[in-house]
Amino acid sequence: MTLSESPSIIEDLGIVLAAGGSGTRFADAAGVSKLLVSSNSLAERRTELNASELAEFADLPLFMFSVLEFAGLTPSGAFVIAVKPDDIPVFEKHLDRLPVENRPRIVSGGATRAESVLNALRALPESAGFAAVHDAARPLGTRKLMLDCLAAARKHGGAVAAKRMTDTLKRTDDDGFVLETLDRSDIWSVETPQIFKTRELREACEQAIESGVNPTDDAGVMELAGHRPFLFEYRGDNPKITFADDLQ
């Protein structure tokens, strides 16, 4: 299996691939996790691949896109995937295709995102001063994105990949009728990776779990703990696969 050329290992970086979501909005008749589905069309959007690599990616489940992209960025043992317990055997089967030195570790995901991320953070080595959490459902995230976001995190104490909102935003009532048009000038669409100091993110996850609050992203966890995450503007292709049509 092809692994793209790696830069130098980043000794203080840990990567958490969040792959424990329920995927209930992804309509798959066989009940297969969206992260285990392959997609020729998504592979073709990876314009840096040569013909042989393209054929290899087209046959891969979605979560492996991120594994191959980020493998080699971290020291051994500092790349962890949080997976639903029932899915662990099939994830392990796909990871068996990798060389041992590039193989991420798998941990069981929890009932909430904060629990899943915390399980993965606890598996990172002490040397991982920064933890980058990336959604496995964003298979087109690149190494450049990861490295640029990490540079912003070092500068600001943490950073979140995001895009400024360009669509017109409307707020409606329960029946779908418009109540008002919102000012979009300071509204962002948040993506991943989201990179924070590992200790601070771990403590924030513990606080969120203890409080019973379930934020939908790691920046929300940090906000609850009193932090003000910095939004790193990214304009590249980094879609989240939520519905089956997103694979087209």
Round to whole Å and give the CA distance between 139 and 238: 7
Give the distance, in angstroms, between the CA of residue 158 and the centroid of all CA atoms in the same chain: 15
State residue 25's pLDDT score: 47
Parts of the chain with a pLDDT under 50: 24-25, 27-30
Nearest in space to 150 (alpha carbons), one of 47, 4, 11 = 11
Q: Spell out the residues 6+ positions from residue 56 whose beta carbon is closer than 8 angstroms to its own.
A: 1, 2
The tokens for 182 are 């919102």
Q: 233 φ, ψ to 5°?
A: -75, 125
Q: 83 φ, ψ to 5°?
A: -130, 145
Q: Where are the domains of the chain?
A: 13-247
State residue 29's pLDDT score: 43
13-247 topology per CATH: Spore Coat Polysaccharide Biosynthesis Protein SpsA; Chain A (3.90.550)
